[in-house]
Structure 1
Amino acid sequence: MATVPRTRAAAKPRTVASRPRNEFGVWFVAGLRTPFAKAGGALARMDALDLSVPVMKAMLAKGGRPDLVNWGAVIPNLTVSNLAREAVVAAGGDATIPASSTIMACSTSMMGAFQAAGMLDDKGRSLALVGGAEAMSRIQIGLSQGLSDDLRKFMDARTGGQRWAAVTGTRLSDVRLFIPQIKNRATGKSMGEHTEDMARGWQISREEQDELALASHQKAAAGWQAGFFDDLVLRMDELGRDGIIRPDTSMAALGRLKPAFDRTSGAGTLTAGNSSPLTDGAAAMWVATDQGLKRLPADVPRARLVDYEVNAIDLFNEYLLMSPAYAIPRLLARNGLTYGDIALWELHEAFTAQVASHIKAIQDPEFLKTKAKVTAKLGKFPMERLNPHGGSIAIGHPFGATGARILSQAIKELWAMPKGAHAIVSICADGGQGTVTLLRRD
């Protein structure tokens, strides 16, 4: 089993695990999303609010007035505090709908779905609209805190002397811009650098990563060709379908790409081809009780929420994106299920090295026993059931939208299966966190 160098005393992973304990059923219902585009591409002129509005309009037209909205974006924008509320208003929704925003890195809109599930009570709340957006092309650049303070003093000044004092009091070291970066604040390392460590620790080869990436593109391309995405994706003037999928890529083409995060050691294995791209897009779904389902079209795919887990690990003593590998076996053991009992596995592909590491870990007896604290025999992971219509590597990964995207996709896939079939949907998130849910076709 892979090990992590200890930088401080080991701490037990902290977990918040919840089951829907309501007397009524809770359902996740497939929604709509924009096509996803690589940052700087077809959707580059739109910010998170611009991306959210057409999706929210289409969802409101299809499902009517929800009782609440939960929406989120990870990258902050100084002009929008509560994206959920702004999107409802801008979309022409009923101004009396309560709307709140959630942020949990890549798990943002899945966490929003869990939060909505806990708020439904059939006492005025039976249907929630959930989703999120990310505009990686429109990241707002800020000023250092010191320069911001001095500029505010200058703007508030009432005399020339006060203005002069504000200007002359500015330190040269404060005259700089703050550009948000995709790295963990506590460790100072990027997601890619952390995943390079994971790949080395779990001995995930470049070939294994590229094979998973190739499969993601091939499956996503086949899904579009077969019409699978037709009722999940809202066509836009700017883009009619996902713009990142490469149906013509190959192992040879992927193999020619240079390492993207470890460019100096000669041992780097993560590339632009086996890492999810910076992406623009928005996605939505519904969360409903049995009563709430009656307010939606009868033919919309839905799945019963059986159980879920929100998990956090000690990011200083474990690989940053390993949280789902702890949560998945616990969730299954708690429900008396094995890997083979799960008909559909939708694992978020932040990096294919992360996916491969999770799959290797959850089959490692030592990891299960000493880290996940699971003693149940869970069996062999069924690779043939993994991400049947592609994942984030090919489709794209707008942070705030990925949860609603992957859940809607999984729900539609599960809807085509026999009653009683189960699905696991998993997302890793920055900060050593993750969300996993167990769904059932009822």
Structure 2
Amino acid sequence: MSRFAKPVFLAAGLRTPFGRGGGALAAYDAVSLSVPVVQAMAQQAEPDLFVWGTVIPNLGWSNIAREVWLDAKLNPSVPAFSIVLACSTSMTATFAAAGMLGAGADLTLVGGAEVMSRPSLALTAASSKRLTDLFAKDAAAALAELQSLTPRDFVLPTKGWANRITGRTMGDHMEETAKAWNISRAAQDEWALKSHRRAVDGWNDGFFDNLVISLPELARDANPRADTSAERLAALKPAFDRDSGLGSITAGNSSPITDGAAGCWVANEAGVSRLPTGTPHVRLVDYEVSAVDLHTEGLLMAPSYGIPRLLARHQLAYPDIALWEIHEAFAAQVLANVAAITDPDWVRAKAGVEEDLGPFDWDRVNPMGGSVAIGHPFGATGARDLSQAVKELWALPVGSRAIVSICADGGQGTVALLERV
């Protein structure tokens, strides 16, 4: 059983190296950083449709997909549109593209980018209205008013990317969730260390070589640390709850501020035939988009609803999944979501799934590292996760299945079920 009447395939795409915030890629913006990825993928095949996204707003463009496509100097007859769903942006682009295949759209290039080093500063709504009203009446007075603006007139990133409704960051929310699920600091640091070691090994073993293009400023991911250790991670101070003495989330067990762009292919059978021979590809069997009450369930806990529902719909259990690619916004987020989906009472009460989903095998999770080590440029993470999962699954026997899961700000999440063909 599949969501789609005809087979839909995901093929591994390309991405930039992911750079540290304020580092080698900080001079780019989301458009210019996307261009080399899109140009490199278009050399493999020209898509029939282009879907791209970014999360941090920029008033310099309204449709980043079209801006990227035209700046890349590619065929202007290829239509392009933008999409956004917080950290799930480029995964949601994949689902949208899958639903648009056929009738002349056999191959779609999807993905996204984020340059977190360069967030735009904006005026508050009140200040903006005051100035625009003044410009309509007296341009000279409006220009004079501009010179009298104070910090109160701007939306400043003083709390990073805080949720608008709660006014708190994802890290603030995750501290609450970690406490609610009794996720220890030691467990978080242990998972972070695994993520770094696996990502470093993946680079050293050549896994990422045909997934990442080299840029003049950076040739490989800057965030994975070969020199980290349990002792170094344990020495870091809490990054969010600094006062209670109970804070457990640190810079070391969280995904870092990151700049990067990533793409992925979505195709039907005709579209796959246009890609270079041997391009890793798998079938997109189904997907789930879920949302929870962020005030009561935890801002990043939506995957714990989506995963059981998706598996139950296909009469699958956890042992049937050979590979789990779970976005690591925080190590605590991965640990809490898995704790939830392995609690039968939670699965029954929250996800509405009565079936016994069996034991969960941690050794199948993120074998080449995750976002804690690789980094998390919001708009690019979905395509990075999917392309990485496609290549990982491609190395397994035909019929093997994977789950790719991403949590998103606002209490939302996306989950994909893939199958090796």
TM-score range, shorter chain: over 0.9
* 1:234 matched residue in structure 2: 213
* 1:145 matched residue in structure 2: 125
Task: Note if 1:179 corresponds to 2:156.
Answer: yes
Q: Which one of 124, 127, 131 corresponds to residue 111 of structure 2?
A: 131
Report the residue type matching 1:384 in the other structure: D
Structure 1, unmatched stretches of 5+, are 1-17
DSSP-derived class of the 1:285 partner: strand
CA deviation map 1:129-152 (0-9, x unaligned)? 000000011111112223223333
Task: Note if 1:395 corresponds to 2:374.
Answer: yes
Report the residue type matching 1:87 in the other structure: V
**Aligned counterparts of 1:426 and 1:136: Cα–Cα separation in 2:** 22
Displacement, 1:369?
A: 1.2
Task: Note if 1:53 corresponds to 2:26.
Answer: no
Report the residue type matching 1:21 in the other structure: F
CA deviation map 1:326-380 (0-9, x unaligned)? 1111111111111111100000000000000011111111101111111111111
Give the direction of change, closer, same or farther, for the CA distance of 1:53–1:191 in structure 2 (3 Å limit).
Answer: same
* 2:315 matched residue in structure 1: 336
Displacement, 1:175?
A: 4.9
**Aligned counterparts of 1:311 and 1:293: Cα–Cα separation in 2:** 29
* 2:334 matched residue in structure 1: 355
Displacement, 1:177?
A: 1.5
149-158 or 431-440, which deviates more: 149-158
Report the residue type matching 2:4 in the other structure: R
* 1:117 matched residue in structure 2: 98
Q: Which one of 34, 43, 49 corresponds to residue 68 of structure 1?
A: 49
Report the residue type matching 2:291 in the other structure: A
Q: Which one of 16, 21, 29 corresponds to residue 4 of structure 2?
A: 21
* 2:78 matched residue in structure 1: 97
Displacement, 1:183?
A: 1.4
Q: Which one of 167, 171, 194 corresponds to residue 173 of structure 2?
A: 194
307-316 or 419-428, which deviates more: 307-316
Displacement, 1:246?
A: 0.4
Decide whether the 8 Å contact of 2:4 with 2:285 is kept in 1: no
CA deviation map 1:15-35 (0-9, x unaligned)? xxx95332x210011000000
Report the residue type matching 2:92 in the other structure: M
**Aligned counterparts of 1:270 and 1:176: Cα–Cα separation in 2:** 32
**Aligned counterparts of 1:142 and 1:158: Cα–Cα separation in 2:** 22
Q: Sequence identity of aligned pairs in percent?
A: 55
324-333 or 148-157, which deviates more: 148-157
* 1:30 matched residue in structure 2: 12
Report the residue type matching 2:118 in the other structure: R
Aligned length: 419
* 1:422 matched residue in structure 2: 401
DSSP-derived class of the 1:350 partner: coil
DSSP-derived class of the 1:414 partner: helix
Task: Note if 1:254 corresponds to 2:236.
Answer: no
DSSP-derived class of the 1:328 partner: helix
Decide whether the 8 Å contact of 2:178 with 2:332 is kept in 1: yes
Displacement, 1:154?
A: 4.4
Decide whether the 8 Å contact of 1:150 with 1:167 is kept in 2: no
Decide whether the 8 Å contact of 1:209 with 1:352 is kept in 2: yes
DSSP-derived class of the 1:282 partner: strand
- The two structures, once aligned, show a CA RMSD in angstroms of 1.8
Structure 2, unmatched stretches of 5+, are none
Report the residue type matching 2:58 in the other structure: N
DSSP-derived class of the 1:138 partner: coil
Give the direction of change, closer, same or farther, for the CA distance of 1:159–1:263 in structure 2 (3 Å limit).
Answer: closer
**TM-score, structure 2 as length reference:** 0.96
**Aligned counterparts of 1:198 and 1:226: Cα–Cα separation in 2:** 36
